[in-house]
Amino acid sequence: MFRSLSLTNTTITLCKRSFPFSTVSSLKNQASQNRLSSEEYEAYQRKRKTDWKRQQGGHGFLDELIINVRGGKGGDGCVAFHREKFIPFGPPSGGNGGRGGDVYILPTPELTSLSTVAKRVRGERGGNGQGTWQNGKNGSPLIVRVPLGTVVREIPRGDPRRAQDEWEAEEEALEGLDASEKQAKMRENRWMHYPRHGASNLERDPFKEAEDMLYKQERERRYARRKRETEAPIFLDLDKMDEAENDPSAPLGLPRKENFGHLVASGGLGGMGNPYFQSAENRSPKFATRGHEGERITIVLELKLLADIGLVGMPNAGKSTFLRSVTGGRAKTEVAGYAFTTLNPVVGVVRIADDGTFEGSLSQHVVHEETSVEEAIAQEKLEKGELAYSLTRNQSQASTTDGFGSGHRFDLLESFRFTIADNPGLISQASANVGLGHSFLRSMERSLALVYVVDFSNPAPWDELVVLREELEQYQPGMSHKARLVIANKSDLLAGDGDPVAVQAAKAKLKHLEAFVHSEMGVIDSWGKPLKLDVVPVSAKFSQNMKKVVGLMKTYVEEARAVEHRSTT
Ligand SMILES: Nc1nc2c(ncn2[C@@H]2O[C@H](COP(=O)(O)OP(=O)(O)OP(=O)(O)O)[C@@H](O)[C@H]2O)c(=O)[nH]1
Ligand SMILES: [Mg+2]
């Protein structure tokens, strides 16, 4: 069977298979047989990647993960009777089961992504009780480590992404059974009987009373859980390390308290051994309870990247090129001339010396071409054998004349550093999940400052600004007041050849942009004072005017850090 697939103005025919990857491999085959040009193949792959991201409706960026957590099941109680020489009918001696292990969440600075977090977490089971009053061992606590800056939210009841809780799971397992079968199963899940006493136990009043009591406790627990879920669902904003507090004047040799983090699901209680059910009426109870199920909850983890500055712009404005330029090509973010190249936020580090020189400016790599062009150049060099003896990045920096020496020597000169996050493109209606949605702005929420990047070669770059501000406000009212700067990128495209008329026109356009920004785009800073945004024309591709931008960004970060410092002290 065949079907047609339209691809960037060409129509190709490909084999229909049910598994999408085979479609790609068949395309790969076609490409290798020269029936499909490599550009067409690439365009197809790119389209699939972006479509896939879009289908997720803005969810599923690398910084969001849903996990199912279960506390450990409690250990079973034991039915036993003490036996000793000359004591043939000793008292009941079954131990209680141990508690199931609790599950905690702990923020850790060593982690930077949620990729290491397991999607299903289950606490350790408590040990079963044993004869001669031996209680089972408690399950040890389980710690789920997440990166610093993770937000933990419990998924509420009714949300389809939520897994069943322990009671719902049991109800589902019992579905379709008649009343007596149900009762038998429920008893099996809850009670242990002394061998050959199962049937007789069920008829005796003490057992019935104990059973009623157990169900009553269960109902109370269930009610309390529901109440907790609706009144105080789990919400943790883990942006700070919290150390376990140790008393400094504690006696020597006392073990240090261990910090487990935040409890998210507690383990089930252990079952009761048969001595628990001993009473005046029932001197030798021949039953014990099984351990309780641990709490089951579904939580969503969201990682807020901690970048000082966030770049906000429409697709293709040159955000990724800008990040590569300020980091001297170190930040590995893809650059290409089509919309939605960047699908996940990428963070780069900018290091600055006292005199305003930044590490990226020392790089001899000043032209930042599209990734595919750079790859083609590298491939060509590789084939010619030029790469074999070429200098490494640090060696080439050592040969620069400005006296900074090798890249490592910059460590001595570095006086300030901040991070910049390159974001996917934001478009009009992103809040209604057009394009890639805007959920990635979550990473920007705690950025100290935002910077708009617009394509200055567009006929009306000011229109872009209005849309961007609108989308920021849609995401979080007041967020647009974090903006400090407008980068007018791609300025080389205007009057790059030095034609005086074009230069005049470019100057006039810049004036217009500045006037627009000053009159329409004012913000209120954290002290409540009105502030005008800076406007700087740059060419990210050719690394022009970058020093000025980096200098300005440094001042924003310094100011914002000072504000934060003051508000915390
Ligand atoms: N002439 C010129 N082209 C530029 C400049 N900056 C970026 N470009 C080109 O603009 C195109 C888009 O650049 P990207 O950096 O991928 O744009 P982006 O904003 O990251 O786009 P998305 O990731 O899709 O949101 C590429 O073809 C770049 O080569 C510039 O300063 N001058
Ligand atoms: Mg990009």
In terms of Cα–Cα distance, which of 137, 331, 139, 156 is closest to 235?
A: 156
- Minimum mean pLDDT among 174-178, 368-372, 564-568: which range? 564-568
Give the mean model confidence (pLDDT) for residues 514-519: 89
Cβ atoms of residues 218 and 74 within 8 Å: no
Which pLDDT score, from 0 to 100, does residue 305 have? 67
Give the ligand 1 atom nearest the CA of 369: 29
Whether the pLDDT of residue 47 is over 90: the answer is: no
User: Ligand 1 pocket, 325 CB below 6 A?
Assistant: no
Which pLDDT score, from 0 to 100, does residue 194 have? 92
Give the closest residue (by CA) to ligand 1 atom 8: 318
Question: Which is higher by pLDDT, 153 or 357?
Answer: 153
Tokens standing for 16? 């229909």
CATH architecture assignment, domain 64-242+258-303: Distorted Sandwich (2.70)
Whether the pLDDT of residue 391 is over 80: the answer is: no
Count CA atoms closer than 13 A to 403's CA, side-chain side. Answer: 3
Angle at 268 between CA 266 and CA 271, to 5 degrees: 155
Provide the phi-psi class of 347: left if phi over 0, else alpha when psi is between -120 and 50, else beta. Answer: beta
In terms of Cα–Cα distance, which of 425, 461, 450, 448 is closest to 537?
A: 461
Confidence of residue 339 (pLDDT cuts 50, 70, 90): confident
In terms of Cα–Cα distance, which of 98, 64, 51 is closest to 78?
A: 98
- Which part of the chain has CATH 2.70.210.12? 64-242+258-303
Cβ atoms of residues 561 and 448 within 8 Å: yes
Burial of 86 (0-12, 13-18, 19+ CB in 10 A): exposed
Give the mean model confidence (pLDDT) for residues 496-517: 85
Give the closest residue (by CA) to ligand 1 atom 13: 318
SS3 category, 280: coil
Measure 519 CA to ligand 1 centroid, in angstroms: 28
In terms of Cα–Cα distance, which of 379, 325, 327 is closest to 350?
A: 327
Whether the pLDDT of residue 21 is over 50: the answer is: no
- pLDDT digits 0-9 by tens, 76-117: 999 999 999 998 889 999 999 999 999 999 998 887 778 888
User: Ligand 1 pocket, 440 CB below 6 A?
Assistant: no
Which pLDDT score, from 0 to 100, does residue 522 have? 83
Residues 278/283/288/289 CA torsion (nearest 10 deg): -40
Alpha-carbon distances of 46 from 8, 13, 43, 435, 496, rounded to whole Å = 11, 18, 5, 14, 31
Give the mean model confidence (pLDDT) for residues 419-432: 82
User: Ligand 1 pocket, 320 CB below 6 A?
Assistant: yes
| Residue pointed to by tokens 């700070």 | 240
Cβ density class 379-407: b for 16+ within 10 Å, e for less: eeeeeeeeeeeeeebeebbbeeeeebbbb
Give the ligand 1 atom nearest the CA of 425: 25
Question: Which is higher by pLDDT, 72 or 332?
Answer: 72
Which pLDDT score, from 0 to 100, does residue 306 have? 67
Q: Which ligand is nearest to the CA of 546?
A: 1
User: Ligand 1 pocket, 315 CB below 6 A?
Assistant: yes
In terms of Cα–Cα distance, which of 139, 142, 133, 130 is closest to 76?
A: 130
Whether the pLDDT of residue 10 is over 80: the answer is: no
CA distance 119 to 95: 34
Measure 103 CA to ligand 2 centroid, in angstroms: 39
The percent helix, strand, coil of the chain (3-state, each to 5) is: 35, 20, 45
User: Ligand 1 pocket, 447 CB below 6 A?
Assistant: no
Give the mean model confidence (pLDDT) for residues 127-134: 93
Measure 336 CA to ligand 1 centroid, in angstroms: 6
Which pLDDT score, from 0 to 100, does residue 555 have? 92
Measure 109 CA to ligand 1 centroid, in angstroms: 33
Which pLDDT score, from 0 to 100, does residue 550 have? 93
Cβ atoms of residues 52 and 39 within 8 Å: no
Measure 485 CA to ligand 1 centroid, in angstroms: 18
From the candidate CATH numbers 3.40.50.2300, 3.30.70.260, 3.40.50.300, 1.10.1740.10, the one assigned to the domain spanning 309-350+416-568: 3.40.50.300
Alpha-carbon distances of 485 from 221, 517, 560, rounded to whole Å = 54, 10, 14
Question: Which is higher by pLDDT, 426 or 228?
Answer: 228
* For the ranges 212-221, 280-289, 416-425, 496-505, the one whose mean pLDDT is highest: 212-221
- Minimum mean pLDDT among 85-89, 199-203, 310-314, 370-374: which range? 370-374
Question: Which is higher by pLDDT, 8 or 185?
Answer: 185
Which pLDDT score, from 0 to 100, does residue 6 have? 37
Confidence of residue 399 (pLDDT cuts 50, 70, 90): low
Whether the pLDDT of residue 275 is over 80: the answer is: yes
Whether the pLDDT of residue 60 is over 60: the answer is: no
Give the closest residue (by CA) to ligand 1 atom 16: 335
- Percent of the chain with pLDDT strictly greater than 70: 86
Count CA atoms closer than 13 A to 404's CA, side-chain side. Answer: 26
Give the mean model confidence (pLDDT) for residues 238-257: 77
Give the ligand 1 atom nearest the CA of 311: 19
- Which part of the chain has CATH 3.40.50.300? 309-350+416-568
- Minimum mean pLDDT among 169-173, 244-248, 290-294, 539-543: which range? 244-248
Question: Which is higher by pLDDT, 367 or 75?
Answer: 75
Measure 314 CA to ligand 2 centroid, in angstroms: 9
Q: Which residues contact 207 (CB under 8 A, 6 or more apart)?
A: 201, 287
Question: Which is higher by pLDDT, 332 or 550?
Answer: 550
Give the ligand 1 atom nearest the CA of 315: 25
Measure 480 CA to ligand 2 centroid, in angstroms: 21
Q: Which ligand is nearest to the CA of 374?
A: 1
- Minimum mean pLDDT among 153-157, 295-299, 528-532: which range? 528-532
- Mean pLDDT score of the chain, rounded to an integer? 83
Give the mean model confidence (pLDDT) for residues 361-376: 80
Helix (H) or strand (E) holding 22: helix 20-32
Sign of the Cα torsion 362, 367, 370, 373 reads negative
- pLDDT digits 0-9 by tens, 447-491: 889 999 999 998 888 898 999 998 888 888 888 898 999 999 998
Question: Which is higher by pLDDT, 294 or 346?
Answer: 294
Which pLDDT score, from 0 to 100, does residue 97 have? 95
Which pLDDT score, from 0 to 100, does residue 35 have? 66
